[in-house]
Amino acid sequence: MPQSPLSPVPHPSLSRDLQSDESAPALLHSLHQVRSSVLSLAANKEYIFSGSQNQDISVWDKKTFTLKNTLRGHTGSVLALEIAKEKEWLFSSSGDSTIRIWSTVSLTPIYVLDPYLETDAGDLFSLSWSPTLQTIYIGCQNTSLQWYDFREPLSASVSSFTPPTSFSESLASASGTSTPSSQATAMRKVHKFFDSYPQYERKPADIFARNARGGASSPDSDHNLNMPLPQGYLSIPAENVIDSAHYGYIYCMAIFDGGGHSVQLATGSGDETVKLWDCTEKGPVLVHEFECTHGAVLALIARGETIYAGCQDGYVKVLDLETKTLVRTILVQECVDILSMSMINSDLYTCSANGYIKRWSPSFDCTASWKAHSGIVLSSTITPRNGSTNSGFRLITGGNDNYIHVWEITPPRRRPHNTHHGITATDEILPGDGGQQSAIDTMTYALSKFVSIPSISSSPRHTEDCRQAAIWLKKCLAQLGARTSLLPTGEGKNPLVLGTFSGTKGDKPNPRVLFYGHYDVIPAPPDGWESDPFTLTGRNGYLYGRGVTDDKGPIIAAACAAADLLARRALGLDLVFLVEGEEECGSAGFGECVRKHKDLIGDIDAILVSNSTWIGENRPCITYGLRGVVHCTLEISSNLPDLHSGIEGGAVVEPMFDMVQLLATLTDGNRKVRIPGFYDHVRPQTPEEDELYALLSNITQRPASSLSSRWREPSLTLHTIEISGPKNATVIPGLVKSQLSLRIVPDQDLDTIVRALCDHLESSFESLKSPNKLQIKVEHTADWWLGSLDDHWFKALESAVQDVWGVAPLRIREGGSIPSVPYLEKEFGCHALHLPMGQSSDQAHLSNERMSLTNLHKGKLVVEQFLLNIAEKYTPPSSSR
């Protein structure tokens, strides 16, 4: 069958585009560095400092935007700049494997700091200064983390150099200083690279070498560059080094230093991790490692209790220090590296390799996007306009187009202090805590994209649409804070989406709840639809679209519930999403895939399902039972071609008569199933069920017997009879097919029922003495499921429904089947719970499928409250996992 063109796949980002033509900040001024990329930026109240690829640091006056000075001495690209405000120092690190320290007042060099092992440290990519500990931390190319403590007396570790007389005199003349005689004999150590002779001279390095390239530690190079000589040379001792702090280059660092007793350092690396270190008197101690899994971490921002990690392939990971969890992922632009980030209050600015800068709100929406540089945006910083926060702020960016741009920005307003779920908020907006309206907007925005993908699993024409739906959902869950992957279910079958929201880490293991759903939908013929079935349409308080209630709406609601708890630092358990793409056509490959990847899924304590509707319109429900199902196809053939009834009628045994007689043996005149032993093990109805059905009968105005027959009694249904031939009134078909199904209930055994059905059909057909042939094919089966009403999990869910809706939920059962629910219970050895979100009129599988906005929003809140209830009362099993 020819494939139809792939339906348009929605952009995977969950961040709403709230920008306008006026939302980009105004470009205030541009500064040009001739033939030199701007690799690093820093600013104080008077100056803008820019580190360049050409080894120099340019100093720009913030008021006049004129070049004030050029700091020379490095012999490699200036990769990082860091200001120590209280000391009036500027630190610079370089590809020459040195750190230089400059006075931000006199704009002169103070010290040169050599890392341990000197050039073996490689490029020094990142710097962070702790005012509390008076310590500079350095991230190195050789994967080491090094530091230098300036609280220690410097006299023992500073070395100075007095060159030959003529050099000393010329230097003194140039700088207006003289070298104290007490330092005349203090010789710095030889630098094996910067103090080397040209190779052809075959001479060992010494401090008098005149390396033509100039040395980062070479006083001769400092003199030739017409810069005053540093006061001394410092070296990082061996004990101030953590070798292999990462398994990749340490590209970026951010420090949490509020001036108190606790200082923490975050480091980002090419190994795709962010590590968190407690900075002690003896050095950093690793306390946690975040897996980012989106390429190298190239930029870090620290705010409050939150780390923002900009990654190589265009994602920003939002990480929480207190709970040690991933809060959210912002998709800036896939496959476009994020090289720098800056933040003011709750506004995050991301700078990307395509030259664009984007601004993100606390609800992770994009509020501005503009082309800032003609090349790559390499660096950024935010600084007050005139040294005072009352005078406004400016975003300063540098690129490989040799320009520095100064942008006028307005920070967001701060909010008053408050508390939320026991967590005290700072006076800045917490990331992701944009209020309930923000969560609602994210949910409906995500659902509109999800519904737009026609993931019809029963149609080969939509195989690629189903795959794209799985990919989209994987990215959706990842942005909401989950670790995600796709699990293959076999050739020609749609993959499972696995996503794990990890809760707050504690002393005891977290409970783990598995949320099961399916992203595939049934076909949506346009007849009867008042709007496009694959365009989410709001009308009179309802959202219309195929899959909105079965089952895409509940999936998005549950995912947003987890994301909202993460944002509030209130997710006290692990929520594992397992979403399949074959539920509407029998869950092919599901069980085998789950068994194969069970270790990846992990231990599960309970299963939550949301894949059905209420019994009525106004009263919330919890489903505690499902019937099982056996789908069977019968085929009777004569091995003859289709015949003309006027010529062959009466001369042949017609397959149609055989089929009619065979189907007639399945039930009696009272519609009772005649398969031997069919009713033998049906569980009797209890007095408690009698009371429940009586209550539901009063509420729904339906007979209690009708509810009982639909939910807890087995049944047989004939679905189709199909014939070969042109299907006109003169043809004797040579082939007749029929489809039937059995619904089974507790305590019928599925395998026993299947065998009894096949045995009955075969024996009944044999009694017809027909020359025709019968073929029986059991297409797929699903076992019945019955939940435990006394289970503490059920009570936690019931309590959550009552808290949100203000009324106790009705306990109902379903006549339909969900094959994966009983399977998952048996596979993981735990109980399942079923939370229907939609109303009975939601038209699942029919035209104009819908769900009310109220049910969607409150469904999300019920899931949140259920997860909170479980986390609060959970007691881990006595045996460790």
Contact between residue 252 and residue 311 where contact means Cβ atoms under 8 Å apart: no
The 10s digit of each residue's pLDDT in 820-859 is 999 999 999 999 999 999 999 999 999 999 999 999 999 9
DSSP state of 17: B
Question: Strands, DSSP E only, in 594-656?
Answer: 606-609, 621-626, 628-637, 643-644
* Element housing 555 (H / E): helix 552-567
The separation between the first and the last C-alpha atoms of the chain, rounded to the nearest angstrom, is: 49
**How many other C-beta atoms can be found within 10 angstroms of the C-beta atom of residue 845?**
15
In one letter, which amino acid is 304?
G
What whole-number percentage of the chain has pLDDT above 90?
A: 73
Q: Are 140 and 124 in contact, with CB atoms under 8 Å apart?
A: yes
Pick the closest to residue 165 from 154, 181, 141, 152 (CA basis).
Answer: 181
Q: What is the CATH number of domain 628-679+714-782?
A: 3.30.70.360
Does residue 185 carry a pLDDT above 50?
no
Global pTM value: 0.84
Residue 315, C-beta contacts closer than 8 angstroms, at least 6 positions apart:
292, 294, 295, 329, 330, 331, 332, 334, 338
Distance set, CA 573 to CA 305, 477, 498, 506, 827 (Å): 20, 17, 17, 10, 21
Pairwise CA distance, residues 585 & 518, whole Å: 11
Identify the band that residue 454 occupies on the pLDDT scale cut at 50, 70 and 90: very high
Q: What is the pLDDT of residues 22-43, one digit of tens each?
A: 789 999 999 998 889 999 999 9
Q: Which of 103-107, 410-414, 733-737, 834-838 has the weakest average pLDDT?
A: 410-414
Whether 664 and 768 have beta carbons less than 8 Å apart is answered as no
Please spell the DSSP secondary structure of 187-242, one letter per residue. Answer: -PPPPTTTTPPPGGG-----TT---TT--TT-HHHHHHTT-PPPSEEEE--GGGEE
pLDDT at 880: 47
Q: How far apart are CA 320 and CA 137, in angstroms?
A: 22
CA distances, 612 to each of 114, 481, 580, 625 (Å): 67, 26, 16, 11
Give residue 215's pLDDT: 41
Is the model's pLDDT at 9 over the cut of 50? yes
Residue 802 banded pLDDT, cuts 50, 70, 90: very high
For residues 862 and 869, what is the distance between their CA atoms, to the nearest angstrom?
A: 10
578-627, pLDDT tens digit by residue?
Answer: 999 999 988 989 999 999 999 999 999 999 999 999 999 999 999 999 99
Q: What is the pLDDT of residue 193?
A: 56
Cis peptide before 551 (omega within 30 of 0): yes
In the prediction, which pLDDT does 440 show?
Answer: 57
Residues 866, 608 contacting (CB under 8 angstroms) = yes
Tokens of 323: 């709970």
Select from 778, 860, 848 the least CA-distant residue to 545. 848
- At 295 the pLDDT is 92
Sheet holding 297-303, edge to edge: 297-303, 306-311, 315-320, 325-331
pLDDT confidence bin for 413, thresholds 50/70/90: confident
pLDDT tens-digit profile of 710-728?
A: 999 999 999 999 999 888 8
The SS3 of residue 421 is coil
Among 242-256, 433-447, 471-485, 521-535, which is the least confidently predicted range?
433-447
Q: Which residues are identified as catalytic?
A: 520, 583
pLDDT by residue (tens digit) across 230-265? 888 999 999 999 999 999 999 999 999 976 668 999
Res 576 pLDDT > 60: yes
Topology at the third CATH level for domain 68-291: Lipocalin (2.40.128)
What are the domain boundaries of the chain?
68-291, 442-622+788-873, 628-679+714-782
The answer to whether the beta carbons of residues 511 and 874 sit under 8 Å apart is: yes
Q: Can you give the pLDDT at residue 204?
A: 73
Q: Are 878 and 577 in contact (CB under 8 A)?
A: no
Question: What tens digit of pLDDT does each residue of 732-784 get?
Answer: 999 999 999 999 999 999 999 999 999 999 999 999 999 999 999 999 899 99
How are the residues of the chain apportioned to helix, strand and coil, as percentages rounded to the nearest 5?
25, 35, 45
**CA pair distance 868, 687, nearest whole angstrom:** 34
442-622+788-873 is classed in which CATH architecture? 3-Layer(aba) Sandwich (3.40)
Task: Dump pLDDT digits (tens) for 499-533.
Answer: 999 999 877 889 999 999 999 999 999 999 999 99
Which residues are CB-neighbours of 352 under 8 A, at least 6 positions away? 314, 332, 333, 336, 337, 338, 339, 358, 377
Structure confidence at residue 175 (pLDDT):
37
Q: In the prediction, which pLDDT does 208 show?
A: 60
